[in-house]
């Protein structure tokens, strides 16, 4: 009889058990925008054995290119890796959401230690039973589906972070190139100011000009020296800013390669707006809409009450016999039929549509603004490089010759010098604005403006 009871309990456990859902297939990591798609990124392990931060890739050193900087940032960025851990955590939660609830084991002793005929243990009844919650309405499947869409949204957040890292690194790279260019201008300004100061000093000593000219030249030289010192510090700060993208506070690289003078005519505004859907800030809303629909379906399923089934064996000590026991319970959906949950899920679905529309309008507006900045910078570069700078150079050469011939004083030469280097600074500012506008536009469309120029790792 005991063997038959044991066999019945085993059969009951098997009948109540089910297969757990497996992990996601990893496709969440494959949803990438075209921008930097070929570059590897940091992806945490889905099943870490212990809580420990993974060892990052080697920090770039020596002479580096833009491709090297982008590759290092994607493999070493602490913020990107942290977002990757959130994706892995969502995957684990999706696994958990698909598991069956555990059965309960109940052991009950009755009719013992009383008075009269039920004193002692001779009349004791022992019940051994298993109970199992059975979710109806497909709740487990729908709960799992909600968790999977939440995982996919986490994947899109990872993609948003990825292209943010790309854009920020590229912008900091351009910032360092611009700072180094400004430093070269500052050095040239100081050297020229020094030559002017020396030449004025010789003329003052010869009695050809007033000593006031020397004072003016000395002021100009002091300003040039101060500008150089400030620009050197700006370069050092820009180096640290670039290295921070791959989690470093002490840059190990020696120099960077790049030429700000290379520019390409901007594409049309229409072509940029046509690519807005590639922006992960927009592309994510398809998964968001699916999530909110899945939440509605789960809320509707939660109207259906679950049942708890129980079964087991009861042993009667008094007659040395056993018998089966079984039971079923379920809540009565009289007051709570999840009315509020259903309404909230539907309202959030409507909210999601409006948020998607707002995100699309905002992104298209930002693309238009970025295009205007890009187009204006492109025109400014050509105007400065083709007209303003050559004229300033000719004016300075003429002033320098006139100064040597004694036709103008130091003030006229210094004024021509300021005009020349102001033109160089203006060109540097226009080039910097152009390249930053390119980066901003690429971030907004999720793709390179000129695919053939997209950097690869270790490119030179």
d(CA 281, CA 363): 8
CA end-to-end span of the chain, whole Å? Answer: 82
pLDDT at 247 over 70: yes
pLDDT for position 32: 80
Non-local (6+) Cβ contacts of 256 within 8 A are 63, 64, 65, 66, 69, 173, 176, 177, 180, 242
CB atoms within 10 A of CB 8: 15
Confidence band of 27 (pLDDT split at 50, 70, 90): low
What residues contact 319, with CB distance under 8 A and at least 6 apart?
A: none
Confidence band of 343 (pLDDT split at 50, 70, 90): very high
Q: Domain count of the chain?
A: 1
pLDDT at residue number 55? 63
pLDDT given for residue 2 in this prediction: 45
Residue 15 predicted with pLDDT over 80: no
At 51, the pLDDT band (50, 70, 90 cuts) reads low
CA distance 196 to 217: 7
Give the tokens for residue 347. 């309202």
In a domain? residue 203: yes
Query: Burial level of 137, CB count in 10 A (0-12/13-18/19+)?
Result: middle
Contacts of 361 (CB under 8 A, 6+ apart): none
**Could you tell me if residue 7 is inside a domain?**
no
State pTM to two decimals.
Answer: 0.85
Residue 25 has pLDDT above 70, yes or no: no
Measured distance CA(147)–CA(97) in Å, rounded: 7
Work out the pLDDT band at 365, boundaries 50, 70, 90.
Answer: very high
pLDDT at 16: 43
Assess if residue 243 is contained within a domain. yes
CATH number of the domain to which 438 belongs: 1.20.1600.10
Angle between helices 339-383 and 280-301 (to 10 degrees): 180
CA distances, 82 to each of 5, 76, 79 (Å): 53, 11, 5
Would you state the structure tokens that stand for residue 152, as one six-digit string? 């996919």
- 8 Å CB contact between 125 and 110: yes
Average pLDDT over residues 373-379: 97
pLDDT bucket at 174, cuts 50 / 70 / 90: very high
According to the model, what pLDDT value does residue 14 have? 44
Tell whether the model's pLDDT for residue 357 goes beyond 60.
yes
Helix axes 139-205, 280-301, angle to 10 degrees: 160
Kindly tell me if the per-residue pLDDT of 10 is higher than 60: no
Kindly tell me if the per-residue pLDDT of 452 is higher than 80.
Answer: no
pLDDT tens digit sequence for 181-194? 999 999 999 999 99
- In order, the DSSP letters of 270-337 are HHHHTTGGGSHHHHHHHHHHHHHHHHHHHHHHTTSPPEEEEEEEEEETTTTEEEEEEEEE----SS-S
327 dihedral zone (left: phi>0; alpha: psi -120 to 50; beta):
beta
Half-sphere exposure of 428 (CA within 13 A, CB side): 19
Residue span of the structural domain in which 82 resides: 31-99+135-303+338-453
Q: Closest Cα partner for 294 from 154, 144, 156? A: 144
pLDDT value at position 118?
65
Least trusted range by pLDDT, from 117-121, 196-200, 303-307:
117-121
pLDDT digits (tens, 9 = 90+) for 272-289: 999 999 999 999 999 999
Complete DSSP assignment for 18-29:
-PPP----SGGG
Looking at residue 123, its pLDDT comes to 79
Residue 173 has pLDDT above 50, yes or no: yes
Q: What's the pLDDT tens digit per position in 71-100?
A: 999 999 999 999 999 999 999 999 999 999
- Other CB atoms within 10 A of residue 40 CB: 11
Confidence of residue 50 (pLDDT cuts 50, 70, 90): low
3-state secondary structure of 252: coil
pLDDT band at 456 (very low <50, low <70, confident <90, very high): very low
Residue 421 lies in a domain: yes
How far is residue 112 from each of residues 72, 106, 109, measured CA to CA in Å? 74, 18, 8
Element (H, E) at 48: none
Per the model's pLDDT, the better-predicted residue between 381 and 457 turns out to be 381
- Higher-confidence position of 10 and 255: 255
> Does residue 11 lie in a domain region?
no
Pick the range with the lowest mean pLDDT from 26-40, 170-184, 223-237: 26-40
Count, residues in the chain:
460
Residue 6 is predicted with a pLDDT of 45
| Between 444 and 22, residue with greater pLDDT | 444
Query: Residues near 447 by Cβ (< 8 Å), separated by ≥ 6?
Result: 33, 34, 35, 275, 278
* 13 within a domain of the structure (yes/no): no
Percent of residues, the chain, with pLDDT higher than 70: 90
Specify the 3-state DSSP secondary structure of 207. coil
Q: Is residue 92 part of a domain?
A: yes
Quick check: 17 pLDDT over 50?
no
Q: Among 23-37, 287-301, 346-360, where is mean pLDDT lowest?
A: 23-37
| pLDDT tens, residue by residue, 131-172 | 999 999 999 999 999 999 999 999 999 999 999 999 999 999
- Give domain status of residue 61, yes or no: yes
- Residue 297 burial (10 A CB sphere; 0-12, 13-18, 19+): middle
Residue 1: CB atoms within 10 A of its CB come to 10
């Amino acid at each position: 009889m005991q063997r038959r009871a044991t066999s019945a309990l085993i059969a009951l456990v098997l009948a109540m058990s089910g297969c757990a859902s497996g992990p996601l297939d990893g496709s969440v990591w494959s949803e990438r925008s075209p921008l930097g798609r070929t570059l590897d990124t940091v992806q945490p392990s889905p099943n870490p054995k212990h809580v420990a931060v993974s060892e990052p890739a080697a920090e770039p050193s020596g002479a580096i290119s833009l491709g090297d900087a982008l590759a290092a940032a994607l493999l070493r960025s602490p913020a990107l890796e942290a977002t990757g851990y959130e994706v892995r955590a969502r995957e684990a939660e999706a696994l958990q959401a698909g598991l069956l609830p555990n059965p309960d084991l109940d052991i009950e002793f009755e009719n013992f230690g009383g008075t009269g005929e039920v004193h002692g243990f001779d009349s004791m009844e022992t019940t051994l039973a298993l109970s199992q919650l059975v979710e109806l309405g497909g709740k487990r499947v729908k709960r799992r589906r909600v968790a999977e869409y939440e995982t996919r949204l986490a994947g899109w957040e990872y993609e948003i972070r990825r292209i943010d890292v790309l854009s920020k690194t590229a912008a900091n790279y351009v910032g360092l190139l611009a700072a180094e260019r400004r430093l070269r201008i500052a050095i040239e300004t100081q050297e020229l100011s020094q030559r002017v100061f020396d030449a004025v000093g010789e003329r003052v000593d010869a009695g050809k000009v007033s000593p006031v000219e020397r004072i003016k030249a000395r002021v100009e030289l002091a300003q040039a020296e101060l500008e150089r010192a400030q620009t050197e510090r700006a370069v050092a700060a820009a180096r640290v800013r670039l290295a921070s993208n791959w989690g470093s506070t002490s840059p190990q690289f020696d120099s960077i390669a790049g030429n700000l003078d290379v520019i390409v005519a901007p594409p049309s505004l229409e072509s940029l707006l046509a690519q807005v859907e590639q922006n992960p800030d927009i592309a994510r809303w398809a998964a968001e809409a699916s999530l909110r629909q899945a939440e509605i379906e789960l809320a509707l399923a939660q109207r259906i009450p679950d049942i708890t089934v129980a079964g087991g064996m009861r042993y009667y000590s008094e007659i040395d016999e056993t018998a089966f026991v079984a039971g079923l319970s379920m809540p009565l959906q009289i007051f709570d039929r999840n009315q509020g949950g259903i309404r909230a899920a539907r309202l959030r679905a409507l909210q999601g549509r409006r948020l998607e529309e707002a995100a699309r309008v905002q992104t298209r507006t930002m693309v238009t603004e970025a295009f205007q900045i890009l187009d204006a910078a492109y025109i400014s570069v050509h105007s400065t490089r083709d007209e303003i700078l050559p004229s300033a150079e000719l004016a300075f050469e003429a002033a320098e010759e006139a100064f040597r011939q004694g036709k103008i004083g130091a003030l006229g030469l210094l004024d021509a010098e300021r005009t020349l280097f102001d033109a160089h600074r203006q060109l540097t500012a226009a080039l910097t604005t152009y390249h930053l506008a390119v980066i901003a536009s690429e971030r907004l469309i999720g793709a390179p403006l000129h695919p053939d120029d997209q950097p690869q790792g270790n490119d030179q």
